[in-house]
Amino acid sequence: MTASAPERLETTSHRIDGHRLHEHRLAVPLDHARPHGGETLEVFAREVVRDGGEDRPRLIWFQGGPGNRANRPESIGGWLDRALEEYRVVLLDQRGTGLSTPADRQTLAEIGDAAAQARYLAHFRADAIVGDAECLRRALGVTRWSVLGQSFGGFIATAYLSAAPASLREVLITAGLPALTGAPDRVYELTFAQTARRNGEFAQRYPQDAATLRDVAAHLRETDERLPSGERLSVRRLLLLGIALGSATGLEGLHYLLEDPFTTVHGSRRLRERFLREVGAKVSFAGNPLYALLHETIYAQGAASEGATRWSAERVRAQLPAFDPDLDAPLLTGEHIFPWQFEEDPALVPLRETAHLLAEREDFPALYDPEVLAHNEVPVAAAVYHDDMFVPRELSLRTAASTRGLRPLITNEYQHDGIRVDGRHLLDRLLTTLRR
């Protein structure tokens, strides 16, 4: 990785709940391979320091995503509370998110046409986020720091281990050990299989809800129902609700959503306004278009991933009849982005051509270095969930075996959001695994 000269760090501070919060802003290169004289972005990070913990080492948190901002702690609890017992914690807003320079419909329109937007967004992947973290580390005067990454944050952590291991004291990963090489099709074959399994669990636990879901799908084929944002709700868009199955409370959440979806209006059966409002909020990418744009690029590594992604999830889904939206009882989909979403979701329609250009790009650089990881000397512990619907355990365990000194914590206790539902306990177990 090319080093850039440290920029001046701007910091403001305030207090919350027995902690001091330092809010850092720093200019970084758009392209870390060309650090001097080119376009710059601003990155934002909020550092949380417990009273009495000023001399503790720093740990940087990489949020899941792509395209999600870091946690906004209104009070201190969960994994953050446990981490602050040993660290100063840096919550980085990954480029394009939060208070870092945003990348959304409004700002991307200022970049230029679709080709210009796609070139710009090519600098918003894990390798660029690692470069931002390195700029921040140097600006803070830190020699080495620890990393905690969840989901996509684990992908960033793995890229960090490949690119700048000398900057790392230790690495902790939850639900985010990526495949080091290989086409994304294999990832989606495995995630669709886990999604089908979770569909089965939902139908077994709530058979009446599965029947209701079939009823709603049949209704949508015959009736024009409009979401609050104005567009017609299609069956295939309804099936996007299945992403909730990957969380600990997802089955119950769907159960409550489907408990009473219909009403009668002037003698006609219609979907309730409440149901349409709740579905609209769950299937819209208005709050995070960057996730939809960049989701498949997190698997793109040029020759190492067999070229362009070319809408891998859509191609894999087409080979799985059980997920066909024209069936009477199609399965819900999971963490999958499809090209038709850029035609049906008003938040994504302006970005349709940009998304297609990213899907067709052949030459994204490799994100991981298997040779460096094979000789890794940084202590690493990674929680791998046996039933993870988003990050296949088979590929995670292969990466664990390929990374020297990595200690996996393999468990079936959690779904993908284990760090959210049991963060204190999970982080404590990871630290114990790392140091045993």
Domains belonging to the chain, first-starting first, are 10-180+368-435 (3.40.50.1820), 184-360 (no CATH)
Helices (H), 239-311: 250-257, 273-283, 289-294
* Rounded distance between C-alpha atoms, residue 426 and residue 237, angstroms: 34
Q: What is the pLDDT of residue 7?
A: 61
Q: What is the pLDDT of residue 5?
A: 44
CA dihedral sign of residues 77, 252, 293, 163: positive
Helices then strands, each counted (H, E), the chain: 18, 11
* Rounded distance between C-alpha atoms, residue 309 and residue 100, angstroms: 27
| pTM reported for the whole predicted model | 0.97
* Rounded distance between C-alpha atoms, residue 377 and residue 405, angstroms: 7
Q: Could you list the active site residues?
A: 151, 363, 416
Quote the Cα angle for 422-427-432, to 5°. 130
* Alpha carbon separation from 428 to 82, 383, 433 (Å, rounded): 7, 11, 9
Quote the Cα angle for 62-66-71, to 5°. 45
Digitized pLDDT (tens) for each residue of the chain, 436 residues in all? 544 444 689 999 999 889 999 999 999 999 999 988 899 999 999 999 999 999 999 999 999 999 999 999 888 999 999 999 999 999 999 999 999 999 998 999 999 999 999 999 999 999 999 999 999 999 999 999 999 999 999 999 999 999 999 999 999 999 999 999 999 999 999 999 999 999 999 999 999 999 999 999 999 999 999 999 999 999 999 999 999 999 999 999 999 999 999 999 999 999 999 999 999 999 999 999 999 999 999 999 999 999 999 999 999 999 999 999 999 999 999 999 999 999 999 999 999 999 999 999 999 999 999 999 999 999 999 999 999 999 999 999 999 999 999 999 999 999 999 999 999 999 999 999 999 8
Q: What is the pLDDT of residue 37?
A: 83
Q: What is the pLDDT of residue 211?
A: 96
Contacts of 45 (CB under 8 A, 6+ apart): 23, 24, 26, 60, 70, 90, 91, 92, 93, 136
Cα 435 to the center of its chain, rounded Å: 28
* Rounded distance between C-alpha atoms, residue 403 and residue 385, angstroms: 18
* Rounded distance between C-alpha atoms, residue 262 and residue 266, angstroms: 13
The backbone torsions φ and ψ at residue 90, rounded to the nearest 5 degrees and listed phi first, read -105, 115
Taking the CA of residue 417 as centre, how many other CA atoms within 13 Å lie in the half-sphere pointing to its CB?
11
Contacts of 192 (CB under 8 A, 6+ apart): 316, 317, 320, 323, 333, 334, 336
